[in-house]
Structure 1
Amino acid sequence: MEKRNATSDFILLGLFKHTRSHLFLFILVLSIAIASLTGNALMILLIHRDHRLHTPMYILLSQLSLMDVMLVLTIVPKMASGFLTGKRSISPEGCGLQIFVSLTLGGGESFLLAAMSYDRYVAVCYPLRYPNLMNWQRCLQMTIGSWFMGAADGLMQAAATLSFPFCNAHEINHFFCEAPMLVRLACTDTSVFENVMYICCVLMLLIPFSLILTSYSLILSTVLHMRSTEARKKAFATCSSHLSVVGLFYGAAIFIYMRPKSYRSAKHDKVVSALYTIFTPVLNPLIYSLRNNEVKGALKRWLGNLPNLKFQ
């Protein structure tokens, strides 16, 4: 099969066709993306402005919101412009950037959720020792470590993916550049890279997931031994939001990156990718705000101060 010029552009076939039903779906997805940006930006603003939320738990949550904002901004504008203008080409550099950023944020979020589970473990199991076990230095180390691990994975996979020679049929049946989809276009044997990528993704997902399961197993054991019903309710309320986010994130990530190649379908991959790049980010601030009295209190205080700010 003919090999394509390494400097020529790829073509993203997109998520939607130009039909009336797909136009409705495009408007729906765009509305959800805008709501996601608004919700996560508001979450970052509230955590930054309200001193009551200046705790490790909410600092980690602000990083989660920042990752969601960056993910939506990396994926949705290009998808929207391609649908509206018909220009669906993307340069190899732009494609590499999308792979790098999406994997950096995906891997970083995986480790960040593990850090958040450790924070909840310390808060529930060792409340009196929380200021020492979960201090600002440890919070900063966890945050930087999450970004670093994600960036290392993203840089490695983006560089390796774009190093392959690609065939003349350079159309990507997706709405953004994702490593597994791009590897399918390579005009060379990619089995070694795919096996390494598979192992890498398994480790990036299963190591943090194992830490999360361990943390919540210990939390559950502690909660079941609590005598106070009120204390149990508070512990469950504290952890249930985080578990909901973990379920959404890992469900989609495992479906995309940990299935055998023979079970992969481009159509299904696009739908699940839309779930974790567009729909999940809008749910995160909703889950944490609707089920968290401290966040709702911060929002009420901020809204209450808006009239005063206008007259200053």
Structure 2
Amino acid sequence: MAIKKKHTVGIFSRDGQDNFTWLIKLLRDKFQKEVQNVHPVYISNDYRTFDNALSQCTFAILYHTKKRGRLNVTDVTDSLYDKDLKDLSNYLDSKNVVVLLDDLEDSSDDNKRRILLEQHTIGTCARTLILISETEKESSNLDGSDPKMSQSPTSPQLQDDYNSICGKIHDLMGVMSESLKRNPDARDYDETPSVSSYGTPTRDAQHYDETSTVSAHGIQPRDQESMRSSSVYNSEQHRLIQPSNPDTAIDMKTSDKRQKESKREPTNEGRTGNIFNLSNKALLWSLGGIICILLIILIIVLCLTV
């Protein structure tokens, strides 16, 4: 089987998994070329769990349902996902993040533009915003307890809604396909897709990136860690090429100068040897002179006695 790059998709939400079971099944059934694993991740105050789940993903969908009563994602009173969305964007890059708002009454482009204007962080930290209405899910059999995308609208009266949700699904596929082309972190797989249990993403032992590093909700990209490692290595390498003893690092100009001076000037040892030789010669000359004087005196004494 040919090995292809596929995404590990995390669906991050403060809503229960029952609200987006349709999305999990849709990704598994219709996105087999783009998606390998799907990890539902419940966002709580346990940031360590959030960070650990994020470190295993290459693509993220931030999910929120209107069943909560409000679309308070970011930049509004009591917004739920300000920090979470920024963390997803910082770690994965905004091009690998999508915000999906579900169970709306109005999923039109006009409403989408209004939400992006009021909650501008969505447009900054996500590749796109997708709005899904209850009617659109009904038209494609994505509602109910056993959601499965239908090949045609469930009712002729829902044809427009069916066409709308098909277009949004196609757009999401395009975003993921584009991301795979430029995403070096997307993993190679030769296995069939799988879906993890809710809130407990399963590590892929064969392809899990052990170099991923995530701080406690202060997420740092992996490339920053690699940059720090490279800096440490270069620093260590720089230290290795330095002399172990600073005194041995002799300046070449000083060395040449000393060599020239050594040719012109005798060393202390040479000077001592020369003095020693001169002293020996003087002593010999003195002894010789004394012997000559004694011989002359001896000759004079002998002459006088005769």
TM range (shorter): under 0.3
Task: Point out the structure with the larger strand share.
Answer: 2
Q: Under a length normalisation based on structure 1, what TM-score does the superposition of the two structures give? A: 0.26
Query: Which structure has the larger Rg over C-alpha atoms?
Result: 2
Using CA pairs below 8 Å that are at least 6 residues apart, which structure has the higher relative contact order? Answer: 1
TM-score, with structure 2 as normaliser: 0.27
